[in-house]
């Protein structure tokens, strides 16, 4: 009877290890997806031009020209 108990305990232990291993894989995959998304967002922010900066420069030039015309 003692031998049967040992086998049952060993089977339960392997089942628990499989569950832990599955959780570890799921977390690793989620982490990898999050890392790729973060890198893609950083590249996007770095590569897109800043249109507001161009608008402000044009506005300043137009504003200066307006006052120069009045003189």
Cα–Cα distance between 65 and 57 in angstroms, integer?
12
3-state secondary structure of 71: coil
Cα–Cα distance between 29 and 55 in angstroms, integer?
42
The number of residues in the chain equals: 71
pLDDT tens for the chain, residues 1 to 71: 778 778 788 878 887 777 778 889 999 999 999 999 999 999 999 888 777 666 666 666 555 555 555 55
* pTM summary value: 0.53
Place of tokens 């420069």: 57
Write the CB contacts of 15 (distance below 8 Å, at least 6 apart in sequence): none
């Amino acid at each position: 009877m003692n031998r049967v108990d040992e086998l049952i305990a060993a089977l339960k232990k392997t089942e628990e290890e499989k569950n832990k291993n599955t959780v570890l894989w799921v977390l690793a995959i989620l982490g990898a997806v999050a890392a790729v998304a973060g890198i893609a967002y950083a590249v996007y922010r770095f590569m897109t031009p800043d249109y507001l900066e161009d608008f402000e420069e044009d506005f300043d030039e137009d504003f200066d020209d307006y006052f120069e015309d009045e003189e």
